[in-house]
Amino acid sequence: MSDSLRNLAALALGALVLLVSAWVYWPGQTGPALLDDASSILVIGDLKSQPELAWDYIKGDNSGPLGRPVSMASFVLEKLLLDGSLATSKRVNILLHLFNGALVIWLFWLLFRYLGTPGYRVLALALGAAWLLSPLYVSTVLYVVQRMAMLSTTFMLGSCICYVYWRERLRAGSFSVALLGLLAVLVLLAVFAKENAVVVIPVLLLLEALWFQFAGENGQPIRWLQRTTLGLIATGGIAVLVFIVADYDGLAAAFQRRYFTLDERLLTQSRILWDYVGQLFSPEVLRMGLYHDDVVVSTSLDAPPTTRLAVMAWLGVLALLVAAMFWQWGRYLALGVAWFLVGHSIESTVLPLELYFEHRSYFPAIGLFLLVGVVFAALVRQWPQVKAPLLVYLACYALWLASLTGSQVQIWSSHPLLILNNLNAHPNSYRANADMAVQMANLGQFEAAQDYSARAFALSVAGERSGDHDIRDLALACIAKQPVEPEQIRRLGVENPARPFGSVVTLQTMVKMLQDNACPEFDRVGFADRMAEIFLADDSPATASANIYIGLALLENALERWQYADAYIDLFLEQSPGNAQGLLMKLHFTRALGKVAQADEVMATLQAMQARGQLTVGEQQTLSLYLEK
């Protein structure tokens, strides 16, 4: 069979892989919104009627230091061009995952063709299918906000593919400025989709050092490329090491609000990284899902005992990587492991992030499947007769993964089923129990809801405040249409009087229901009065985060108690001076209270901010309404 026919057959088989993947994932479009979907996606308004607000949403996300405008632009375009529904967002995620799968296949195709691997086309398809159909990624694809991780991976894969083509041109004696420019653009797009995409730069350097190994025409090394690549790797590695050592105390201080220290996080990650590996190659789908807040923290090498084993195993892996540098095929093997570790180097090391999220392996795991491909290539090179059975085995493995992923997608397609599965998989998860409490309240099972709420409070590894637990129980009563005794409201804030509430989400959920009058029998005024006693009394020691104050201001606004709303906004602005939203609310409340001088002062501040370009389009529109009055 000619190469053109082989390519055509492989493309047809690749299309079949993508169709099967689409069939597996498509039921997931009916699933619910989750966690950060509410703050990043569902807040986007009707842009078809107000398209001028599009840029506000593109540049207004606070998920990362760069705002992730590329990812936000994708959500904005949905609102502008499609129906803007949650199901549509999930369908876009599914299609993006299929596209990423095609890019993975393409990259593997190029890399194993470079090695001259027999059957490289089918090998690339089998490995790409295994990555595409891994059940570990269901929580990435069907959790809409994780498009940020998926879209950054799209551009990272594009960068790798672009580099391979640039490298092939260079090997043939042609230096392509156009491809190098495209590579730079793709890297920038990846970083502005999600900041941790910066790891693609060391991955590209390792791709050169370990895969292409600086080979030029006739196999002779390209000296300038070798010096540049090794120099950048050494400089980057030393810079990172110096930064961590020099600022270790500062990095450790950032963990003050976590229930684990920097040292404990690093020890725990040694175990978690092995768990990611296990969940990729031998998935335990019963443990998979969005909630892993029940993960046991490693407080020392022997607590739990598996920590020492995990650390020793990684040290052994690193020693093998060093040894592999002296063997050409060892360097190919080393790239797969290095890809995985470098891919995790930001989210799984020194930053004070949560311990475990499955989406963190979306890009790094490509390296592990690359490792499998190198093992295949080495075996077939030594024993050509094993090619066919190994490819059949890989194809069967991908089909097995598809069956596991299909079962997970069915769970993710139903909110009640997902809640039940999360609780069964992680009975000691605070979030899973809190979700079940809300589900029981929705079903009118108030006592069961209270039981799950109490269990969530007891299991909170971060140390949920009793005041947050009390407010959650009030919200559950509201949802279940149960009466609330005045004493339940009066005891709010009695414990931990200096900092009675810590959860912005819990309080804002309660406030939203009261604003919407979702609980007609609930004493809204009594609740607001108690909050005012806690935070606004002259002798009160209570403090809270800025966003709790703004939530309470919104409640008082709904009750038309402007003096209290104004007082809360003052507390908010003490913590967030110059915040445009807070100043606009301050303008509204001072106008309502007839404080003309104060209102004029706030108006002047906002106009000055507008002149400096510091107001969004929406904020400018709101300000213009007051200018017309």
pLDDT score recorded for residue 214: 94
Amino acid 48: pLDDT:
84
Q: What is the pLDDT of residue 151?
A: 97
pLDDT of res. 553: 94
The string of pLDDT tens digits covering residues 279-315 is 999 999 999 999 999 999 999 999 999 999 999 999 9
CA distance 449 to 439: 8
How far is it, in rounded angstroms, from Cα 363 to Cα 131?
A: 10
Q: What is the pLDDT of residue 629?
A: 62
Q: What pLDDT, on a 0 to 100 scale, did the predictor assign at position 42?
A: 83
What confidence tens digit (pLDDT) does each residue in 386-443 have? 999 999 999 999 999 999 999 999 999 999 999 999 999 999 999 999 999 999 999 9
Residue 134 falls in which region: left (phi positive, over 0), alpha (psi -120 to 50) or beta: beta
CA angle 81/85/88 to nearest 5° reads 75
Residue 137 CB-density burial (10 A; 0-12 exposed, 13-18 middle, 19+ buried)? buried
Burial tier of 160 (Cβ tally within 10 Å: 0-12, 13-18, 19+): buried
Report how far residue 585's alpha carbon sits from residue 607's, in angstroms, rounded to the nearest whole number.
15
Query: Which pLDDT does position 160 carry in this prediction?
Result: 98
Instruction: Give burial (CB, 10 Å; 0-12/13-18/19+) of 437.
Output: buried
Measuring CA to CA, which residue among 430, 520, 420 is closest to residue 469? 430
Which residues of the chain, if any, have pLDDT below 50?
none
Nearest 5°: the CA angle 387, 393, 398 is: 125
Do 147 and 93 form a contact (C-beta atoms < 8 A)?
yes
Radius of gyration of the chain (CA): 28
Could you read off the pLDDT of 555-587 as tens digits, one per residue? 999 999 999 999 999 999 999 998 999 999 999
The type of residue at 268 is T
3-state secondary structure of 215: strand
